[in-house]
Amino acid sequence: MKVEQISVFIENKSGRLAEVADILSKAGINIRTLSLADTTDFGILRLIVNDTEKATSILKQNNFTMKKTEVLAVEVPDKPGGLSLILNVMKEASINVEYMYAFVEKSGENAIMIFRFDEINKAINTLQKAGIGILKGEKVHSI
């Protein structure tokens, strides 16, 4: 159920994001989804790719600082109130959303969103009990 995500710390200067994209491209790594958050001095690039191990290895070889984290790919009803439904289920279970971002693929009538929860195993159980779909990591990496 969990999806491996790579968080890459990059300087907030022209060309650094392109450098990461070029390195991954030359290694044959396909980016499935990403999110970029920045401050004045640095950014955090969060990536889900088709080959996490190869991507982390090649980025380390190129002196990028990174870490792997576990996130969930949650099927969110693609209609008004869909996100609200998910967030209220988490609120009722006292689970905090640390961050989230959209995924560009649809799964049936649902959109897919990536969530990082403070209690990921509790989040999995809560979502399953509420009948909310969670995609397996293998499926997300292969889309």
Can you tell me the distance from the alpha carbon of 134 to that of 112, in angstroms, rounded to the nearest whole number? Answer: 9
Question: Is residue 136 domain-shared with residue 74, that is, in the same domain?
Answer: yes
Can you tell me the distance from the alpha carbon of 98 to that of 117, in angstroms, rounded to the nearest whole number? Answer: 5
Task: Write the pLDDT tens digit of every residue in 62-101.
Answer: 999 999 999 999 999 888 999 999 999 999 999 999 999 9
Examine the fold and report which residue of 54, 69, 84 is the final residue of a domain before the chain moves on: 69
Instruction: Name the helix (H) or strand (E) containing 122.
Output: helix 120-129
Q: Which residue has the higher pLDDT, 13 or 95?
A: 95
Examine the fold and report which residue of 27, 45, 69 is the final residue of a domain before the chain moves on: 69
Check if the beta carbon of residue 58 is closer than 8 Å to that of residue 49.
no
Left (φ > 0), alpha (ψ -120 to 50) or beta: where does 67 sit? beta
Tally of structural domains, the chain: 2
Which pLDDT value is given to residue 104? 59
Question: Is residue 61 domain-shared with residue 119, that is, in the same domain?
Answer: no
Residue 127: pLDDT band (50, 70, 90) is very high
Return the SS3 of 71: strand
Examine the fold and report which residue of 69, 88, 118 is the final residue of a domain before the chain moves on: 69
Residue 5: pLDDT band (50, 70, 90) is very high
- Which range of residues forms the domain containing residue 87? 70-142
